[in-house]
Amino acid sequence: MTIAANLIIGSNGGTTISGRSTPLSSATDRKRFHELRGRADAIIIGGQTARSEPYSKTPVPLIVVTRSSELPGSAAKNPTAIMSNDDVATTLKRTMQTYPYLLIEGGAHFLHAALAADLVDELYITAAAMSAEEPFTDRTTLTQGFHLKSELSIDGDLFLHYARLPNN
């Protein structure tokens, strides 16, 4: 079982432009995004991501972690969407029993919660050449406990793949 996460971060640590991550994404990043989705058995996001990003269609089931009583945003139109009112860690632990390869596409706050619970096995970060807006995150903090497996620079963007260090 694997839990992977994908996140784009601007040059200043910001993760959105006008509340969305899509404007930060280059054509190469979008290609990588879809390649990662192609490996996933399910995608997991938070309620804020569901409200701000287009999730009405996904190639695999979509799990939305939210405190809301209804699926938020475009996820409400997704016929594969499943809502969880549990916290991030509980939802991940329960969901990975059904879906062996989970892909976290939630934002920085969501990812920090998954990392704090030590549940992320692989981390894919695109370090975009342009700056962005809040929420802000720090790549060094995100990657504590991980080792860099690969690094590729294309058109000013840096594509990083990390794997969790083995527990000692």
State the 10-residue block means of pLDDT for the chain, 168 residues long.
96 93 93 96 96 95 96 96 97 96 94 95 96 92 96 95 86
Which pTM does this prediction carry? 0.94
Tell me if 167 is assigned to some domain: no
Tell me if 158 is assigned to some domain: no
Tell me if 146 is assigned to some domain: no
DSSP class per residue in 45-113: EEHHHHHHS--S--SS-EEEE-SSSS--GGGGG-TTEEEE-S-HHHHHHHHTTT-SEEEE---HHHHHH
pLDDT at 113: 95
Q: Report the CATH number that the domain containing residue 19 is assigned in CATH.
A: 3.40.430.10
* Domain interval for residue 85: 13-141
Answer whether 82's CB lies under 8 Å from 43's CB: no
Tell me if 99 is assigned to some domain: yes
Tell me if 8 is assigned to some domain: no
pLDDT at 106: 85
Tell me if 78 is assigned to some domain: yes
Domain count of the fold of the chain: 1
